[in-house]
Amino acid sequence: MLALHAARKASVNIRKLPGTHRIIDVVRRLSYRMGSVTIADFDEDLIITLDLSEHMASQIFWFGYYSRDVAVLLKDYLPAGGIFLDGGANIGELTLLAAKRVGAAGRVISFEPVEEIRKKLIQHIDWNKFGSIVSVREQGLSDQIGTHLMYGATTSYGDGSQHSGLGTIFPTDTRGSELGMIALTTIDRTVKDLNLTRLDGIKLDIEGAELAAIREAPKQSSDSSPG
């Protein structure tokens, strides 16, 4: 296990060098059978458990982040004391980063409707002592309030990994496995229910429902001052 952690640190450090991505990705694919690993240095000091057979988790383990571009945006633009909405939070990569950025005076609202994934999300929030900052919602985001059947991947991802983050309310040939009914809500209803006076950032990775969710986001009236 020590060798695995050492290999990870080396891969994260060299990933920016030209030509190294393909080499690291070969190693990543070879690690699918190594199970789950808990690390305590995600984004330098965060604790998270990563299933090396899962697409997103294995990317975080070997490359440092899965959503690196979004992580950089959060670091640069999400203010301390801000409010961040994470639609499709999965195991919490961006939820944890956002909670770290906004701090005790801020707030993160994380949406994850799939129970098995949500349990991991909550565990990561608890481990990192972000319970007073992060609110987890057992809902999906769309342009309607109600319920809908959720579908998951029926085959392995293109790289041979399992991709648990592909849950969608829009079934396809490769996403037709029924995961059960989920609750749906809108951004507008969330803002009203939680009495949010500001939103400093919204991330949506909700597998085809992004446009619908944006349609029902709060709109700034023409006579209001910029926020």
Whether 94 has a pLDDT exceeding 70, the answer reads yes
CATH code of the domain covering residue 91: 3.40.50
Is 140 found in the same domain as 176? Answer: yes
Between residues 226 and 177, the one the model is more confident about: 177
Count of the separate structural domains present in the chain: 2
Please list, residue by residue across 165-203, b when 16 or more beta carbons sit within 10 angstroms of its beta carbon and e when fewer do: bbbbbeeeeebeeebeebebbbbbbbbeeeeeeebbbbb
Q: What is the spatial distance between Cα 200 and Cα 100, in angstroms, rounded to a whole number? A: 14
**pLDDT tens digits for 18-53?**
999 999 999 999 999 999 999 999 999 999 999 999
Q: Is 103 left (phi over 0), alpha (psi -120 to 50) or beta?
A: left
Amino acid identity of 210?
E
223 in a structural domain: no
Is 77 found in the same domain as 24? Answer: no
Cβ proximity of 57 and 37 under 8 Å: no
Of 31, 66, 101, the last residue of a domain is 66
146 in a structural domain: yes
Q: What is the spatial distance between Cα 42 and Cα 96, in angstroms, rounded to a whole number? A: 9
Mean pLDDT of 117-137: 98
Whether 208 has a pLDDT exceeding 80, the answer reads no
Whether 216 has a pLDDT exceeding 80, the answer reads no
Whether 204 has a pLDDT exceeding 50, the answer reads yes
227 in a structural domain: no
Helices (H) and strands (E) counted in the chain, each on its own, are 8, 9
Task: Note the pLDDT of residue 223.
Answer: 41
Q: What band does 227 get if pLDDT is binned at 50, 70 and 90?
A: very low
**What's the chain's average pLDDT?**
91
pTM more than 0.75 = yes
Task: Note the pLDDT of residue 211.
Answer: 87
Between residues 95 and 221, the one the model is more confident about: 95
Residue range of the domain that includes 196: 67-218
Q: What band does 219 get if pLDDT is binned at 50, 70 and 90?
A: low
Q: What band does 217 get if pLDDT is binned at 50, 70 and 90?
A: low
Between residues 136 and 208, the one the model is more confident about: 136
Between residues 58 and 173, the one the model is more confident about: 58
Mean pLDDT of 106-114: 97
Is 106 found in the same domain as 50? Answer: no
113 in a structural domain: yes
Task: Note the pLDDT of residue 175.
Answer: 87
